Amino acid sequence: MTVSGEILDQHWLDSRARPFIHIRGVTKQFGGFTAVNNVDLDIYQGELFCLLGGSGCGKTTLLRMLAGFETPTSGVISIDGVDMNDVPPYERPVNMMFQSYALFPHMNVENNVAYGLKRDGLSKEEIRLRVGEMLAMVELSDFSKRKPHQLSGGQKQRVALARSLVKRPKVLLLDEPLGALDKRLREQTQFELMNIQDRLGVTFVVVTHDQEEAMTLSTRIAVMDAGQFVQVGTPTEIYEYPATRRVADFIGSINMFEGRVTENDADHVVVDSTDNALRFFMDHGASVSDGSRVWVAVRPEKIRLSRTPPPNEANQIEGVVQDIGYLGNVSIYRVRLESGMIVEVTVPNQTRPRDGKHAAGWEDRVFLDWEASSAILLTR
C-alpha cells in the first residue's frame, strides 16, 4: 500500500480530513447520575468505530444520543456537518441495529425490512427490489415470508442488519451486535460485518463490552470508563501501547510489576520493582522523573519461558510453575515468583508434547525473560 493510500484509510491522521461525526463537550445526566461526562470525539467517513467499556461506562448512552433516543444535557453532536440536537430520531440519517434486534413480531421478514422504505414513501416496485437485494445479501431470501419467532438467533440478527442497512444510512449504529450469538456464529458474523462495511462504505459505530470483538472489527477503538474516554486509538495502539493500567487490564491480560525509576535516559529506562527485588530494563526513553512510582506491564505472549537460564541478563525472572492451562494452540502457564506474585505466560505449542510433557511441567523451576522493547511503562 502506498503512503497516500494509508493516509486515505486513516483519516484521523490527516489534518485536512473533515470528521463525519463530530462530538464536542457532550454530557448526559440522568437525575444526579452523569452517564456521559464531557466527551469529545471525531469519527470519520467509512470508519468502523468501536465504543468499548464495561457495563455502565456510558457507551450505550452515547450511542443512543447519536440515534436521537436521548438528548445531550449539554454539548453538540453533528453528523455530516448538520447539528443533530434538534433533529428527532425519525429524521436522522442514521439507523440502528438493536441489541435485542427489536424486530416487529407481527410482521414477516420482508415487511420488517421494508418498514423503513415504506416510511420514506418509495414506490412498491422500488421497495420490492431493494428488500430483495438486501435479503439476498444477508442470505435470507428463502425466509422472506417467515415471522421473527420462526427464525433462529443468527437469522434474526441478519434480518435486523438488513433492516438497518436497507435505508442506506450514512451511519449505522450497532448495539452489542454479536452479543446474543454463539462463538462460531460470532466469528463468522464479525467477518461478514467487516465485508459489508467495506462494500457499502457506511460508517459503523459499534458498542461492545467484548474486547475481542472490538479488536477484530474496528479501525479505531474508544475505551470508555465512568462516562469518559480513557484512550482512543487503533486496536494495535490500544493493545501494545495502553495509556493507563485500566486500559492495559481491560484489553487482554497483562502482568504488572510496580516499581520506581532508578535510571532515566533518552534511550533507556531502568525500573526497580518494589516487592520482587527485580530490575527491568526498557530500551526506550519515557517522560518520567527519577524515583517516581511506575508500573512495568508485560503481555503474557511477549514472555519467553525456558528451563535453562536465558543468555540476556536483563528482564529475567525465576519462578515455579503453579498451573498450566492447555488450550490446544497455546498453553497458559501461571508461574509463581518467590514473592508469591503470579506471572502469566502464553506459550505457543509449536511441537507436539513429548512423552506427554510440554515445555515445562507442574512445580518445575523455570526462567522467564522478555525483550527490552516488549514491556510497557505506565505511570497511572
CB of 107 or CB of 196, closer to other proteins: 107
Instruction: Among 22, 28, 158, 167, indicate the residue that binds other proteins (CB under 8 A).
Output: 167
C-alpha cell at 94: 442514521
Q: Report whether 314 contacts 304 (CB < 8 A).
A: no
- Cα gap 329→325, rounded to integer Å: 11
* x-or-dash string of contact with other proteins, 113-152, rule CB under 8 A: --xx--xx--------------------------x-x---
Exposed, middle or buried: residue 74 (CB in 10 Å: 0-12, 13-18, 19+)?
exposed
Within 61-90, the residues that bind other proteins by CB under 8 A are 67-69, 88-90
Q: How far is the CB of 114 from other proteins (least distance, A)?
A: 10
What stretch of H or E contains 162?
A: helix 153-165
Stretch that binds other proteins, among 104-112, 216-224, 225-233, 323-331 (CB under 8 A): 104-112
CB of 120 or CB of 142, closer to other proteins: 120
C-alpha cell at 152: 433462529
> Roughly how many angstroms between the first and final C-alpha of the chain, as a whole number?
37
Q: How far is the CB of 177 from other proteins (least distance, A)?
A: 14
Q: How many residues does the chain have?
A: 380
Instruction: Name which of 221, 225, 191, 192 is nearest 206 in CA terms.
Output: 221
Asked if 11 touches other proteins (CB under 8 A), the answer is no
Q: How far is the CB of 104 from other proteins (least distance, A)?
A: 6
C-alpha cell at 40: 469529545
Q: How far is the CB of 229 from other proteins (least distance, A)?
A: 25
Q: How far is the CB of 287 from other proteins (least distance, A)?
A: 46
Q: How far is the CB of 51 from other proteins (least distance, A)?
A: 18
Asked if 96 touches other proteins (CB under 8 A), the answer is yes
- Three-class HEC string of 335-373: EEECCCCEEEEEEECCCCCECCECCCCCCCEEEEECCCC
CB of 160 or CB of 341, closer to other proteins: 160
Q: Is the backbone of residue 293 left (phi > 0), alpha (psi -120 to 50) or beta? A: beta
Q: How far is the CB of 32 from other proteins (least distance, A)?
A: 16
Phi and psi for 148 in degrees, rounded to 5?
-50, -35
CB of 98 or CB of 281, closer to other proteins: 98
Binding site for other proteins (CB under 8 A): 67-69, 88-91, 94-96, 98, 100, 102-106, 115-116, 119-120, 147, 149, 163-164, 167
